[in-house]
A and B are shown apart, each in its own frame.
Chain A
Amino acid sequence: MRKLIGFILLTSISLASNADGGWPKPKGKGYYKLSQWWLVSDRHFTSSGNIDPNSTRGTFTTSFYAEHGLTNRLTGIVYLPFLTRTYENTQISGTTGQVTEKGEALNSFGDTDIGIKYGLSKPGGKFVASATLMLGLPTGNARGGSDGSFQTGDGEFNQLIQFDLSKSFSIGSIPAFGTIYSGFNNRTNNYSDEVRFGGELGGAFANEKIWFITKLNIVESLKNGATAAEGGGSIFANNTEFASYTFEAAYYFNKTFGLSASYSSAFSGEIIFADPAYSVGLFLDIK
């Protein structure tokens, strides 16, 4: 789950509004967002891809995300999940009505991502290509709670290299953009490395005050690390795979300030929760 969180937030680099995909921010410009992401689930994709039940667990993350143009081709990126709450419901016997296991929650800082995006193509070209290096810092709690399964981070330092290819175009009078990407996430501490790829498509309406964006994200684990069982009680920290889709809408109150909301769910997966995730956020898009 943590990796889904990380992944969705990480890849929301390219979706949050009409901001970006492969486009680096011009020097001094930026995109900044305060958002809340959450997922509550009582079922999960198993290691064989089937869906099994589990006790209800929830994760709520409040984060700050920023892209800032350091030069016209180099953009600095930071994702700070400064408050992450993960919890499990209290278990009640359906026969006796007694509590069989008291619910539990953990509040802490999550795992931080910092990185840079570099424009490989010259600004103004037909296609925009960029390369992104993101570093995942283990600033969260990887073994929280009474049984160590309450996590706000995975406890490992990972490095993601991603390439984006984007193009802006029009569908009739509708301004639109598309992006495809692929990436490799090198993970440490015996976690399996990951290959990631996907794409997004967005269009603007109402004089570019409203943007609708849809995304496809796929993560394939190389399964070259420890098994989930060897990871102790950690949930969804390793060998996670999924193919997910996201629908996002962004509304600009004015030229720079807006509100966005998204819905994400998985078509398929392994070792990951099987319920949808949501987010809402306020953003500042300085162009």
Chain B
Amino acid sequence: MKKILIILLTLSGCIGEDIVFDEVSSEIRLTNPLVSLEISTSYQFEYMLLNNVGEEVIPDELIWQSSDESILTIDADGLALAVDYGSVIITFTAMLGESITASTFEFEITDETVITRTERFGVLKSTSSYTLEGDFDLSEEGDNLLLTFESNYVADTGLPGLYVYLSNNPNSITNAYEIGVVTKFSGAHSYTISGVDLYDYSYVLYFCKPFNVRVGDGEIKDN
């Protein structure tokens, strides 16, 4: 009997491999941006470098540059000093192997340091045949984040195992933060998220676990 079972199992299917197309553009971004910096004060910029699958990596080298050193100076560690009033652009360039990733950020030197971006926004869109739509915002609430969906939110109820994530790669949940299984399929609702900062992720991602496919997503933007 045991031999027969072994033969039947041999005749049955073996686990193969699926190739997942999960490439995204590498990205470097500030995780503590500001609107304005008080003159004659310093500010330590922090950043996050993401590789071509949305995984956070440490660069081999990072270069900080100021567009006008008469307004702002910035050292090799990202420590900026406001020298004079005016608008300035910092450029930060990361090198990892042969990959070079750069980004810029513009802000003002004024009489007051203002960090007002405590909220970000987005619009869900379906990337599949399943319904997914609605506006959302991601905001700081004490030490937590609050992900709030507006009353125009609709998700398909015909899909098994639908989960919501925060991700830096809309094609994959590999390095994503799992918020939880979706239990609300229409109307306003919210999720409280702990241990995550406002600029850690760039997408709200809806993903069907059993099918291993993206259902839809919404890019998280500043406005």
Contact = CB atoms under 8 A, between A and B. Distances in A.
Interface of A: 36, 38, 40, 42, 44, 46-48, 50-56, 58, 60, 62, 83, 85, 87-96, 100-101, 103-105, 107, 147, 149, 227-237, 239, 270-271
- Closest 10 pairs (CB-CB, A-B): A47-B158, A55-B212, A54-B211, A103-B15, A50-B129, A149-B210, A233-B161, A60-B12, A227-B157, A58-B13
Interface of B: 5, 8-9, 11-23, 52-53, 128-131, 156-162, 172, 174, 181-182, 185, 208-213
Contacts of A90: 15-18
Given A91-B212, A228-B160, A229-B160, A47 B130 contact: yes
Given A48-B129, A53-B213, A239-B158, A93 B16 contact: no
Contact of A54 (B22, B23, B158, B212): B212
A195 to B, nearest CB: 19
B211 A271 contact: no
B211 A44 contact: yes
10 contacts: A36-B8, A47-B156, A47-B157, A48-B158, A53-B213, A93-B53, A228-B160, A229-B159, A230-B157, A235-B210
A6 to B, nearest CB: 18
Contacts of A52: 128-130, 211, 213
A62 B12 CA distance: 9
Nearest to B19: A94
A92 B182 contact: no
A95 B22 contact: yes
A267 B15 CA distance: 28
